[in-house]
Chain A
């Protein structure tokens, strides 16, 4: 077997047994990136030199018999949205094209503390807004299973690099499905932990009450490994939960007796692709054969999820993205152009005898900077959110959405009284073609139908590969658990992978 065929968990064993060195592992991945990322474009930055140095350093420590961390020597790809000291943290936006973070996100620091190797930074939809990675200011990422198709988003690069064997472990972020949807479309495992399970410190905020960092990996065991490294309370994040972190790896193999799975009625309605329906139904049968009880449950407010999500998330985003104003850091519009436009405006106004309505240089700088620095989707959401929070509209939009959110949370609490986990599709369809939905934002938004409610409710969910369409595109299965039940979620997902080999299948990369 070649290095690239090992899962991270297997690599860990080989490294511990000194059958492999980290330098060998990192070199193999760097070569794979060199060979294939020109086509896939999963990485926005490859940390080649530093990764090799770090790998050599870990190898020598291991050789000397020193204690090494949980991820010692294993490469980890990091999504652009996670602040990394000394590296450009661009959020795939022109706005932060040259922004170098002065500090590490807590999750990045934890990877370093556990001796994981920072392999590079992965492409994403600008500021994590999108479902296809087409909104990156630096070019779209392709789906390794078929490069005409999108990898999903916003963690498209994070998913594609794992699917294309360019990284064994990858960190994504999920605000409304941004880990699970690309994991599903790329045929890998993606875990969105409970809100508060993983620190958000250094995760550049899109929607603070929904954002969460999580693992994107080939196997469920690998996700357990990566979650183990990043989970836990952080005094730098008030919203991180002070809840004990269990040992996700130890219990993974324990079969779960008396498992009750709930099939969400609302996830099997109109709009669900037939192939996806079939693959998910087959998966349910796998669980039934393993002794699980299957019952139907209802999340009656699920249908309002998209509407509530696309008010709450943009509202928070409109405020979170206000800091990109050209004053302190990041992109600023060209000053000569600003003055030139102001001069032209003044001439116009003088001619009209209306000099007093002239734009101030400061306002002009703000407007021009933000018009030029942000892409269309980001601006669309800032406008949506600004509108929803405005005086006179707040009650009808933002406040109403918060009420719906509460009802959605209640739905989940009710459902979890009946069953242990929810089971269903991740997306209504397999991956779509690049460019297919860019002109129709609403249809893009509707693709988040099965994932947004997880974030609104703050519960955990995992996406695992469960089949392929006749076109050879991966299909994902989603399992959702109550808050802080990641251990159970991982065990149940792992049970599936012991019975199936979807996760073993590799993308047919053109060499």
Chain B
């Protein structure tokens, strides 16, 4: 069906005639050396079918053994998401036929998942949406399937199977349908990714498939006195957060148009799966998996349930690092930052936060440190394509420069040059200033320079005397020309004093 989708769906006052209901299912590959149920490597990018063994390719008689490391990372993540950890969790088989699933079932967790009921706070410092908690329905572990490589180039439509990925540990994190705009959906994903990065549980690389997102979208529509809901659609195949944002926005408009044309509401259609076509910027109906309707879940008899005690949970909790949400709040409190600045710093990851904190503490001015961090440090970091760990200009050295600025030993503009030379030549602030010939101009030399300038510029003296103090500004440029090290503020002050005395 071809849909006409114009902006007529948006009312004149800019608000939409519906509310979006968005829930996200995120699959995260956990950063383990080996697979979830065998000892094969999980390294990405190896030759197809070279990282396999009887267990992960489902040879007759082979049995799974749980990788404790994957369980550890999953528990850590669940705790960070404020999810309750049941003391008893079991494994279930999810049965379906597909060529890249060699056992004919996925080992997952059905009715007793690893964790249930958590939340993640999302906010937009730019004010795109209000700060809110997104509920986490559950998080559970499962093993990944292989990859089907549909090779249609040869014209034969062959499908090749790569089982290297088969058995890689996945943590599925299911949110409540608590998001009501594409921006919120993106905000949730950004915050979740940041959290997982701080926890060091996943690479979160969407291109390599270590983070995958499916979105469940439908609409709540006020139709006169009646509230109706459109059928839920699962959107798949989105390979960036931007794509999620666009796909969700598109899907909402599409559903509204379909509802206007057909009047079909939730319950009148089965749940549909649509794929995002990034080049066409639309979602397309996908062919359902064979027998997708009934996975015949039952307890996995080859694995024992995982049991965890309150003490073990406490010891896991003790290993958690400080999390992004908490760091943001602390930076705002400790260093008097606004939410936006705190957000930018936290988004740089733990290395960035550590750098900023040391800088701010040593220079004693959080705001100044934040400005330098965001403008100069980040720019240099981007230019040199390095990480904080590799960044040669130590925060303690940069703090020396910021202190010099505070003491007016160097003005901000010149300080940028000093920053450059400190970075290039690996110098301290003092060495950098010396390198550029910046030194304090002593009082008598300054006084002599100003006297000379006033003599040369009688008009300025006249103007000041008649009350136009700003006229002295004309002298500052000349003073800097004569001696680049003079402080403009001091030139101004000395000149005014001389005229007054004069």
Q: Residues of A at under 8 Å CB distance from B?
A: 81-83, 89, 91, 96, 99, 101-103, 105, 200-205, 207-209, 235-239, 315-316, 318-319, 321-323, 325, 327-329, 360, 362-363, 366, 386, 389-391, 394, 398
Other A-B contacts than A319-B298, A323-B104, A389-B296, 15 sampled, CB-CB below 8 A, are A105-B61, A201-B63, A202-B61, A205-B60, A205-B61, A208-B302, A238-B66, A315-B298, A319-B95, A327-B161, A362-B290, A389-B95, A391-B293, A391-B296, A394-B298
A contact residues around B61 at 8 Å (CB)? 81-83, 89, 101, 105, 200-205
Given the known interface contacts A204-B60, A322-B95, A327-B161, the answer about A389 and B104 at a Cβ–Cβ threshold of 8 Å is no
Residue of B nearest to A240 (CB): B63
User: Can you list the 8 inter-chain pairs with the closest CB atoms, starting with the nearest?
Assistant: A322-B104, A208-B301, A209-B301, A389-B296, A204-B60, A202-B61, A83-B61, A204-B61
Q: What chain A residues lie within 8 Å of B303 (beta carbons)?
A: 238-239
Query: What's the minimum C-beta distance from B287 to chain A, rounded to whole angstroms?
Result: 9
Whole-angstrom distance between the Cβ of A88 and the nearest chain B Cβ: 11
Query: Contact size class for B?
Result: 20 to 34
Majority secondary structure, B binding face: loop
CB distance from B151 to the nearest CB of A (A): 15
Interface residues in chain B, defined as those with a beta carbon under 8 Å from any beta carbon in chain A: 54, 57-66, 93, 95, 97, 99, 102-105, 161, 290, 293-294, 296-298, 301-304
Q: How many A-B residue pairs have CB under 8 A?
A: 103
Considering only CB atoms, which chain A residue lies closest to B94 in the complex?
A319
24 A-B residue pairs with Cβ-Cβ distance under 8 Å, sorted by A, are A83-B60, A89-B60, A91-B60, A103-B54, A103-B62, A200-B61, A201-B61, A202-B61, A204-B61, A205-B61, A209-B301, A235-B65, A239-B303, A239-B304, A316-B301, A318-B296, A319-B104, A319-B296, A323-B103, A325-B97, A327-B102, A328-B58, A328-B161, A366-B97
- Assess whether B65 is in contact with A101, with CB atoms less than 8 Å apart: no
User: Given A236-B65, A238-B65, A319-B298, does the pair A101, B60 have CB atoms closer than 8 Å?
Assistant: yes
Residues of B within 8 A of A105 (CB): 61
Residues of B within 8 A of A238 (CB): 63-66, 302-304
How far apart are the CA atoms of A316 and B290 in the complex, in Å?
21
Determine which of A322, A325, A363, A389 lies in contact with B298 in the assembled complex, contact meaning CB atoms within 8 Å.
A389
Determine which residue in B66, B99, B298 has the highest number of CB atoms from chain A within 10 A of its CB, and name it. Answer: B298
Q: Given A319-B104, A323-B104, A327-B102, verify A236-B63 contact (CB < 8 Å).
A: yes
Residue of A nearest to B58 (CB): A323
Please report the C-alpha to C-alpha distance between residue A99 and residue B60 in the assembled complex, in whole angstroms: 10
Instruction: Assess whether A325 is in contact with B104, with CB atoms less than 8 Å apart.
Output: yes
CA distance A322 to B301 in the complex (A): 15
B302:A239 contact, CB within 8 angstroms:
yes
B104 contact set on A, CB distance < 8 A:
319, 321-323, 325
The CA-CA distance from A83 to B298 in the complex, in Å, is: 26
Residues of B contacting A327 in the complex (Cβ-Cβ under 8 angstroms): 99, 102, 161
The reply to whether A319 and B102 form a contact with Cβ atoms under 8 Å apart is no
Tell which of A102, A237, A238, A366 has the most Cβ of chain B within 10 Å: A238
B107 to chain A, nearest CB (A): 11
Q: When the two chains form their complex, are residues B57 and A328 in contact, meaning their CB atoms are under 8 A apart? A: yes
**Which residues of B are found within 8 Å of A239, using beta-carbon distances?**
63, 301-304
Residues of B within 8 A of A325 (CB): 97, 104
Contacting pair B59 A103 (CB below 8 A): yes
What separation, in Å, do the CA atoms of A64 and B104 have in the docked complex? 50
CB <8 Å contact, B58 and A391: no
Interface centre among A200, A319, A391 (most CB of B within 10 A): A319
A119, B171: Cα distance in complex, Å: 46
| Residues A202 and B301 in contact, CB atoms below 8 Å apart | no
Partner of A363, one of B57, B102, B290: B290
Interchain CB contact under 8 A, A96 and B60: yes
CA distance A102 to B61 in the complex (A): 11
Nearest Cβ on chain A to B305's Cβ, whole angstroms: 10
Chain B positions within 8 Å of A390 at CB level: 294, 296
Smallest CB separation, A311 vs chain B (Å): 11
- With a cutoff of 8 Å between Cβ atoms, the chain A residues found around residue B59 in the complex are 83, 101-103, 329
- Collect the chain B residues with CB atoms within 8 Å of residue A398's CB: 298
Knowing A208-B301, A208-B302, A363-B290 are in contact, say whether A323-B60 is a contact too (CB < 8 A).
Answer: yes
Which residue of chain B has the shortest Cβ distance to A387 in the bound complex?
B296
- Whether A202 and B296, one on each chain, are in contact in the complex, defined by CB atoms closer than 8 angstroms, is no
Bound: A402/B412 CA distance, A: 76
Bound-complex Cα distance A239 to B65 (A) = 9
CA gap between A235 and B67 in the complex, in Å: 12
Q: How far is the CB of A61 from chain B (nearest CB, A)?
A: 30
Task: Give, as a whole number of angstroms, the nearest-CB distance from A81 to chain B.
Answer: 8
Closest to B146 in A: A328
Output the least CB separation between B243 and chain A (Å).
28
**Residues B54 and A102 in contact, CB atoms below 8 Å apart:** yes
Q: A209 CA to B302 CA in the complex, in Å?
A: 7
> From B290, which residue of chain A is reached at the shortest CB distance?
A363
A205 neighbours in B (Cβ, 8 Å): 60-61, 302
Q: B304: which A residues are within 8 A, CB to CB?
A: 238-239
Which residues on the A side are within 8 Å of B296 (C-beta)? 318-319, 386, 389-391, 394
With the chains together, A103 CA to B64 CA distance in Å?
Answer: 15
Of the listed residues A209, A323, A389, the one surrounded by the most CB atoms of chain B closer than 10 A to its CB is: A323
